[in-house]
A and B are shown apart, each in its own frame.
Chain A
Amino acid sequence: MAYQDNPPVPALLVLEDGAAFRGLAFGARGEAFGEAVFATGMTGYQETLTDPSYRRQVVIQTAPHIGNTGWNDEDNESRRIWVAGYVVRDPSRVYSNWRARRSLTEELEKQGVVGICDVDTRALTRHLRERGAMRVGISTDTLDEAALLEKVLRQPPMAGANLVSEVTTATAEVVPAQGERRFKVAAIDLGIKDMSPARMAQRGMEVHVLPAGSTLADVMRIEPDGVFFSNGPGDPATADAEVELLRQVLDRGIPFFGICFGNQLFGRALGFGTYKLKYGHRGINQPVMDRTTGKVEITAQNHGFAVAAPLDSEVETPWGMAAVSHICLNDDVVEGLELRDGGGELIGFSVQYHPEASAGPHDSAYLFDRFAQVMEKARHA
């Protein structure tokens, strides 16, 4: 066995500020462009690659060894790989896991995902940390830095990007409740990960996954006990239609739960702004404090935008008082919002992170139970 491809195929990575990194081809050959972001999880590359929130992003894995456990048929978070390009240091030559069916390389090639390896991913990460997320290009076609840079600069930036329509489901789908059906949930697919409906289904929720662009009538037709807004890619400031839908849902007094992009839309519906973080939070080790209990949960995160809301005061909204329920202990970014009615009852809430995890720790699974409780209470109210 040769130590690598013989002969190795060189590849080039160029950032929009002109910084260039040379490496070797990994996955499909060709060119790929997107926003360069780094993800710090040491496990879960399969879930990361198939997470629709990574649409149009080139993901840099800070963990050096990627591909060790191959690719299995169970852990995908959606129907395909979404990352625009993939940057790793040491892809595995073999895979070893009892559930693996094929290698990561095979899967990347099959799905045409262009990657680059043998890159100093830590240097690249530090670069992005200091200068912020930016556009990037990877190429195995050209090793001319100037030529690739020119193409990178022609790419649209992430701020202002509406990507939901590119990832959402074409048709409504139903994920049946496990065991007895206790609730019906309308889940708006803004780039939903499969684990979100799965976690709800485990708790007796029948989940109707609806395409983005669904109207209130589409939602009401289901007669939902609650409405769920999923995670997803792009700039929340472009999702006015979804924000409007959410306001109508709140007008109807339907319990609401949102994750990630859904949290940002909830924030916008409540009247807060959203903004782009310098380089985002992408990893499975982010400490978040639940301000109600004072407890810390270790969370999975993947977001480049965040909600701008006051940390220390409640805000009056047409539906009740809104407050920041969770904050990131690393940098005080808003990690959760809650809305209480005049009687102080929780009627809607959302988190910026991923309680469905996958990849990531399960500390926040209680939020799905909380959703069930809110729906239960609303039913009796």
Chain B
Amino acid sequence: MPKRLDIQSILVIGSGPIVIGQACEFDYSGTQACRVLREEGFRVVLLNSNPATIMTDPEFADATYIEPITPQYLAKVIEAERPDALLATLGGQTALNAAVALYEDGTLAKYGVELIGASIEAIRAGEDREQFKAIIDSLDVPGANPEAARSEICHSVEEVLATADKLGYPVVVRPSFTMGGLGSGLAYDEAELRDVAGTGLSASPVHEVLIEESVLGWKEYELEVMRDRKDNVVIVCSIENFDPMGVHTGDSITVAPAMTLTDVEYQQLRDVGIAAIRAVGVDTGGCNIQFAIHPDTGRMIVIEMNPRVSRSSALASKATGFPIAKIAAKVAVGYTLDEIPNDITAETPASFEPTLDYVVVKAPRFAFEKFPTAETTLTTHMKSVGEAMAIGRNFTEALGKALRSLEDSKSPLDFRRPPTRSAGELLASMARPHDGRLHDIIDALRLGVPAAEIYAATRIDPWFIDQLQLILDVAEHVAQAPRTGENLLLAKKHGLSDAQVASLWGLSEQEVRELRWSLGLRPVFKTVDTCAAEFAARTPYHYSSYDLQTEVAPREKPAVLILGSGPNRIGQGIEFDYSCVHAAMALREAGYETVMVNCNPETVSTDYDTSDRLYFEPLTLEDVLEVVHAEQQAGPVAGVIVQLGGQTPLKLAQALKDNGVPITGTQPEAINLAEERGAFGEVLAQAGLTAPQYGMAESAQQAIEIAHGIGYPVLVRPSYVLGGRGMEIVYDDESLTAYIRNATQITPDQPVLVDRFLDEAIEIDVDALYDGRELYLGGVMEHIEEAGIHSGDSACALPPISLGSEVVDLIRESMEKIAAGVGVCGLLNVQFALSQDDLYVLEANPRASRTVPFVSKATSTQLAKAAARISLGATIAELRAEGLLRREGDGARILRGAPMAVKEAVMPFNRFRTRDGSWVDSLLGPEMKSTGEVMGLSPTFGVSYAKSQQASYGRMPTSGTVFVSIANRDKRHAVFPIKVLSDLGLDILATEGTAQVLRRHGVKVNTIRKSFQGRGPNGEPTIVDALLAGEVDLVVNTPHGHSQGGDPRRDGWQIRSTAILADVPCVTNVQGLAACVEGIDALIRQQVEVRSLQSWNAAVEAELES
């Protein structure tokens, strides 16, 4: 059945900003979909609010709208573009929810837009627990007994107890109609259940709870299923979770294919999966089904089904080489699976089931260090911020590679350090799923704890526990064995890194490496081919293994290796993948053979289509050196690009160069010059530029002396940090001493940096290109929040909203001096602070920054592409002539037709609760906490800012109630904007102190009780009550007190965390408040329109031509 001819244009919805649980896997799937649909000749209209995505590059759609993903904006886009169909199954839950909203408000019917991929009925059947349960329970699958978890609704403790007796303990209690899982819990016996059910019943406004049998500790599996409109169904991949039921699959170590099922049981899952996709009614496309299997009886429970492409499907695509999103898009427009070729073999069709001759392990990357008060227990609520995938010829090899891919020094297994806890302590610790559980198990095994006891504590399958034991056995054998090739090979076959072998043999990593090379021992590179070598693979998608035969093909063209950025984490996310992908595109076009090295399965960069060759490898020195060696054996290597993937590849630059690897562009020495404080200070001094005064303290006393010399407030941090880790602004001796006592270990080896903090300064972020002679200003961004809030967490505007041309000229001059002084060849990002008309250099990064995609989209100039070219010798003049850069002027030129672009950061606070169950604080500070970003585009700042807020929070109130609680030092600045809000017709609610001040300025204001005051004598509510009751539409709360880090029990914290719980937008600083007021004003008074990037670009082009 060929493609449908009755549709010409298709609207694709992306997934918006990166948040926990919804990351760049949807950029990968959306990009694939857009590419396929355009190739098929459809007009593609795209809406996504996230500028850091590849899919929102103007070349991937005919009309790209970077607008909030809300029904209101979607309706505007539909009205303007009149698409025939809407494809919402590739943009995560966000896109699916948006599609449902458009169906429900009648927009789809009004404009005659057909929902393709999954019908509204299928979406609902997958979403609605009761409906889904009914579908599963009614499936008729010969030889299998699929069930949904048994449950009953109860209204009293007695009823609950009777139900639990029927279902058997443990049971899960889920109160009805509460937010964020409030009041839910697990009970193992009657006493616990009385307690949990009591809490649950009272938490429910209707005094109702669902009692469900618990599948905690059962084996957990997932299937990725694909169906076409002729009802052909294939299973793309099976995934087994190392961590059994109870831990969200995104937080689990997962393995593909399933390791501990016989064919009989696997086929039962397959049959049920196929029956379920049919019964739910996903007509075309992919879906993901999760199963729980009882480890002793094999009883099967179907947990859930997502009628859309998911994180697991991205993983499955990378794990098998079967591009799920691409195929899903093709079947959505009418093709059947047998009509679609398998890209990898070219000869065989996509209507088959991939078979693997390797093992894939995915490991989660957590960011608990960013939220020190957060509870680290892993639950069904996802908490990890990223993941790494590794491929090996066996589980042990893949696990070792996955753990070192996480790039967390604590992550790889430690065979040397003696376990510090007793067997009993370890067993108790591992019984609670948390991010250190794997290491608990390893330590317990090292202490000789029997596997059976570990199984009893964790319910991790005995096969996996034995694999961990195998690794330990190998390590023990190797540690005592002579340093022969045979023993080294044994270690390598089970995934031990050179560093791990070094620890066993008391050598340095470099010594092991040299020994290994001298023994002629190197990994081979195998191919991911979907078919276990049954057919020849056309796509060079490789992974390393210590095995016999390598499959890297020789080549003629010079190769450029691009090192990616590894697992997503806070501070290093999709933005860097964007730059790497752009480098691949630009260099392929420039005649190079592009070779991508990365280990993040969510990304576009690890799509085998992106580069000429893909190596799915950890980004460690050892692994990268082996890839370089393999490619040097295959043909000429022009160089390795390290400046586009963030800190991960940058950290490897010097060592790579020391090993004789050619680094393109900015050299490691220059990188070091910019990163090393003293050396960079000299660069600035020579250029006549100023940095805020600072000092390096080796003791607490010295820190105080330095602070006195500089004057408070000061910014303190450990001397070597990434992403603002451990940074704090302190305002007095007391908080400085507390910081040093609590947050650092100050020693002469680990000094603490004390910087002058520029209070109330404007922070400016600049991205530029430099080729050794000419500087091209990509863009100058003015932060909304003042200096002191991490640039990644701050909203910013481009062009700058308040800077005059003389400031921009000064910035240009400074950039030139820094670029020349450091020796940049490629991208340079510098952060400045403007304080009382003085320009200070805060830091310089000679690499792609987080803002590159935003700047590129705001100015219609592909900076990362240009940087890749410059790093390989092209000049800015040449790139201007080619048209890659503007022929005249640069990104700093203000054009009348260009948009006012605003970037806003998106925070993950609603994912983290403290140990006592409340939410973590939402204050911003010098430590970065955001996971993603959105962009607002319009002709004016107010509308763009409003769009950015709507895109990040889903809404911005234009009426209703604003609650205000302002710190004393902010009151002056806050009065005017609050007055404007009141004049715009919003009701102002405040606590007594703030209310008094506002009344003095003629603002009409109602007062409400603070939370610690409790309810009044007549039941008058507190602000917390009002928030929970949905009576507040916006919270303005700036922190009282001085320290922005430290003690979580500050005043206002409860308000802010309740705002998170109630999902109410919360502004925590006065600059944000001013911008917010401008935005609300714009929404009320101005016409808000949508406009495609292509249209903006055309306007810019026209203006530049004229």
Kindly supply a per-residue 1/0 record for chain B positions 114-148, scoring 1 wherever the CB is within 8 Å of any chain A CB and 0 otherwise.
00000000000000000000000000001100000
Tell me the complex Cα distance, A358–B270, Å. Answer: 13
Residue in B260, B265, B357, B526 whose beta carbon sits within 8 Å of that of A63 in the complex: B357
Asked if A120 and B547 make an inter-chain contact with CB atoms under 8 angstroms apart, the answer reads yes
Asked if A120 and B462 make an inter-chain contact with CB atoms under 8 angstroms apart, the answer reads no
Q: Does A129 make an interface contact (CB < 8 A)?
A: yes
Tell me the complex Cα distance, A125–B548, Å. Answer: 12
Kindly supply a per-residue 1/0 record for chain A positions 19-63, scoring 1 wherever the CB is within 8 Å of any chain B CB and 0 otherwise.
001000000000000000010111110110000000000000011
Q: Does A69 make an interface contact (CB < 8 A)?
A: yes
Asked if B338 and A329 make an inter-chain contact with CB atoms under 8 angstroms apart, the answer reads yes
Residue in B238, B270, B393, B535 whose beta carbon sits within 8 Å of that of A89 in the complex: B393
Asked if B463 and A94 make an inter-chain contact with CB atoms under 8 angstroms apart, the answer reads yes
Asked if A46 and B394 make an inter-chain contact with CB atoms under 8 angstroms apart, the answer reads no
The stretch that binds A, out of B207-215, B468-476, B624-632, is B468-476
Tell me the complex Cα distance, A38–B551, Å. Answer: 19
Residue of A nearest to B262 (CB): A69
Residue of A nearest to B477 (CB): A3
Tell me the complex Cα distance, A121–B357, Å. Answer: 9
Complex contacts, A41 vs chain B, CB 8 Å: 263, 355
Q: In the complex, how many angstroms separate the beta carbon of A203 from the nearest chain B beta carbon?
A: 11
Residue in A46, A65, A126 whose beta carbon sits within 8 Å of that of B259 in the complex: A65
Asked if B357 and A362 make an inter-chain contact with CB atoms under 8 angstroms apart, the answer reads no
Complex contacts, A75 vs chain B, CB 8 Å: 262-264
Complex contacts, A355 vs chain B, CB 8 Å: none
Asked if A287 and B352 make an inter-chain contact with CB atoms under 8 angstroms apart, the answer reads yes
Asked if B266 and A43 make an inter-chain contact with CB atoms under 8 angstroms apart, the answer reads yes
Tell me the complex Cα distance, A120–B532, Å. Answer: 12
Query: How many chain B residues touch A (Cβ–Cβ < 8 Å)?
Result: 65
Residues facing A in B583-624 (CB within 8 A) are none
Asked if B262 and A46 make an inter-chain contact with CB atoms under 8 angstroms apart, the answer reads yes
Quick one: given A285-B354, A330-B347, are A97 and B260 in contact (CB under 8 Å)?
Answer: yes
Residues facing A in B319-358 (CB within 8 A) are 336-338, 347-349, 351-358
Residues facing A in B252-284 (CB within 8 A) are 257-267, 270-271
Asked if B230 and A295 make an inter-chain contact with CB atoms under 8 angstroms apart, the answer reads yes
Q: Does B395 make an interface contact (CB < 8 A)?
A: yes
Q: In the complex, how many angstroms separate the beta carbon of B542 from the nearest chain A beta carbon?
A: 12
Q: In the complex, how many angstroms separate the beta carbon of A338 from the nearest chain B beta carbon?
A: 20
Tell me the complex Cα distance, A123–B143, Å. Answer: 38
Q: Does B295 make an interface contact (CB < 8 A)?
A: yes
Residues facing A in B482-541 (CB within 8 A) are 490, 494, 526, 531-536
Q: Does B461 make an interface contact (CB < 8 A)?
A: yes
Asked if B262 and A2 make an inter-chain contact with CB atoms under 8 angstroms apart, the answer reads no
Kindly supply a per-residue 1/0 record for chain A positions 291-302, scoring 1 wherever the CB is within 8 Å of any chain B CB and 0 otherwise.
000111010000
Asked if B469 and A89 make an inter-chain contact with CB atoms under 8 angstroms apart, the answer reads no
Residues facing A in B69-86 (CB within 8 A) are none
Asked if B547 and A298 make an inter-chain contact with CB atoms under 8 angstroms apart, the answer reads no
Residue in B230, B260, B548 whose beta carbon sits within 8 Å of that of A123 in the complex: B548
Complex contacts, B143 vs chain A, CB 8 Å: 362
Asked if B533 and A129 make an inter-chain contact with CB atoms under 8 angstroms apart, the answer reads yes
Q: Does B359 make an interface contact (CB < 8 A)?
A: yes
Tell me the complex Cα distance, A121–B534, Å. Answer: 12
Quick one: given A41-B355, A120-B547, are A329 and B263 in contact (CB under 8 Å)?
Answer: no
Complex contacts, B549 vs chain A, CB 8 Å: 120, 122-123, 126
Asked if A89 and B394 make an inter-chain contact with CB atoms under 8 angstroms apart, the answer reads yes
Asked if B395 and A65 make an inter-chain contact with CB atoms under 8 angstroms apart, the answer reads yes
Q: Does A357 make an interface contact (CB < 8 A)?
A: yes
Residue of A nearest to B526 (CB): A122
Asked if B548 and A21 make an inter-chain contact with CB atoms under 8 angstroms apart, the answer reads yes
Residue in A42, A99, A283 whose beta carbon sits within 8 Å of that of B257 in the complex: A42
Asked if B348 and A330 make an inter-chain contact with CB atoms under 8 angstroms apart, the answer reads yes
Asked if B470 and A93 make an inter-chain contact with CB atoms under 8 angstroms apart, the answer reads yes
Q: Does A270 make an interface contact (CB < 8 A)?
A: no
Q: Does A96 make an interface contact (CB < 8 A)?
A: yes
With most chain A CB atoms within 10 A of its CB, the pick from B234, B271, B337, B355 is B355
Residue in A3, A64, A289, A331 whose beta carbon sits within 8 Å of that of B359 in the complex: A64
Q: In the complex, how many angstroms separate the beta carbon of B465 from the nearest chain A beta carbon?
A: 9
Complex contacts, B231 vs chain A, CB 8 Å: 295
Residues facing B in A78-130 (CB within 8 A) are 89-90, 92-99, 120-123, 125-126, 129
Complex contacts, A196 vs chain B, CB 8 Å: none
Tell me the complex Cα distance, A123–B551, Å. Answer: 9
Asked if B352 and A298 make an inter-chain contact with CB atoms under 8 angstroms apart, the answer reads yes
Complex contacts, B270 vs chain A, CB 8 Å: 361-362
Q: Does A359 make an interface contact (CB < 8 A)?
A: yes
With most chain B CB atoms within 10 A of its CB, the pick from A46, A92, A96, A286 is A96
Complex contacts, A63 vs chain B, CB 8 Å: 257, 355-357, 532
Q: Does B152 make an interface contact (CB < 8 A)?
A: no
Complex contacts, B749 vs chain A, CB 8 Å: none
Q: Does B298 make an interface contact (CB < 8 A)?
A: yes
Tell me the complex Cα distance, A3–B474, Å. Answer: 6
Residue in A3, A97, A125, A360 whose beta carbon sits within 8 Å of that of B357 in the complex: A125
Residue of A nearest to B451 (CB): A94
Residue of A nearest to B234 (CB): A298
Asked if B359 and A65 make an inter-chain contact with CB atoms under 8 angstroms apart, the answer reads yes
Q: Does B297 make an interface contact (CB < 8 A)?
A: yes
Tell me the complex Cα distance, A289–B295, Å. Answer: 37
Tell me the complex Cα distance, A21–B358, Å. Answer: 19
Quick one: given A75-B262, A89-B393, are A68 and B267 in contact (CB under 8 Å)?
Answer: no
Complex contacts, B348 vs chain A, CB 8 Å: 287, 329-331
Quick one: given A65-B359, A122-B357, A330-B535, are A360 and B263 in contact (CB under 8 Å)?
Answer: yes
Tell me the complex Cα distance, A100–B800, Å. Answer: 69
Quick one: given A64-B393, A361-B270, are A285 and B353 in contact (CB under 8 Å)?
Answer: yes
Asked if B463 and A125 make an inter-chain contact with CB atoms under 8 angstroms apart, the answer reads no
Quick one: given A40-B532, A294-B230, A361-B270, are A329 and B351 in contact (CB under 8 Å)?
Answer: yes
Q: In the complex, how many angstroms separate the beta carbon of B867 from the nearest chain A beta carbon?
A: 38
With most chain A CB atoms within 10 A of its CB, the pick from B264, B474, B548 is B264
Complex contacts, B298 vs chain A, CB 8 Å: 98-99
Residue of B nearest to A74 (CB): B264
Residue in B258, B267, B355 whose beta carbon sits within 8 Å of that of A40 in the complex: B355
Tell me the complex Cα distance, A362–B351, Å. Answer: 15
Tell me the complex Cα distance, A40–B338, Å. Answer: 21
Asked if A125 and B352 make an inter-chain contact with CB atoms under 8 angstroms apart, the answer reads no
Q: Does A169 make an interface contact (CB < 8 A)?
A: no
Asked if B355 and A97 make an inter-chain contact with CB atoms under 8 angstroms apart, the answer reads no
Complex contacts, A98 vs chain B, CB 8 Å: 295-298
Quick one: given A21-B548, A75-B264, A330-B347, are A287 and B338 in contact (CB under 8 Å)?
Answer: yes
Asked if A96 and B394 make an inter-chain contact with CB atoms under 8 angstroms apart, the answer reads no
Q: Does B232 make an interface contact (CB < 8 A)?
A: yes
Q: Does B466 make an interface contact (CB < 8 A)?
A: yes
Residue in B296, B466, B533, B536 whose beta carbon sits within 8 Å of that of A62 in the complex: B533
Residue in A89, A95, A329 whose beta carbon sits within 8 Å of that of B463 in the complex: A95
Complex contacts, A215 vs chain B, CB 8 Å: none
Tell me the complex Cα distance, A298–B353, Å. Answer: 7
Could you pull out 22 A-B pairs where Cβ atoms are within 8 angstroms? A3-B473, A40-B357, A40-B531, A41-B263, A43-B267, A44-B262, A64-B394, A68-B463, A69-B261, A75-B263, A93-B466, A94-B462, A122-B532, A125-B533, A126-B549, A129-B533, A202-B142, A285-B531, A296-B232, A296-B351, A360-B263, A362-B267
Partner-A contacts on B (CB < 8 A)? 142-143, 230-232, 234-235, 238, 257-267, 270-271, 295-298, 336-338, 347-349, 351-359, 393-395, 461-463, 466, 469-470, 473-474, 477, 490, 494, 526, 531-536, 547-549, 551
Q: Known contacts A42-B238, A43-B258, A62-B357; can you find 13 more A-B pairs with CB under 8 A? A: A68-B259, A74-B264, A98-B296, A122-B549, A125-B533, A283-B355, A287-B351, A294-B230, A298-B234, A330-B347, A358-B263, A360-B267, A362-B270
Partner-B contacts on A (CB < 8 A)? 1-3, 21, 38, 40-44, 46-47, 62-65, 68-69, 72, 74-75, 89-90, 92-99, 120-123, 125-126, 129, 202, 283-287, 289, 294-296, 298, 329-331, 357-362, 365
3 nearest CB pairs, A to B: A44-B263, A120-B548, A123-B549
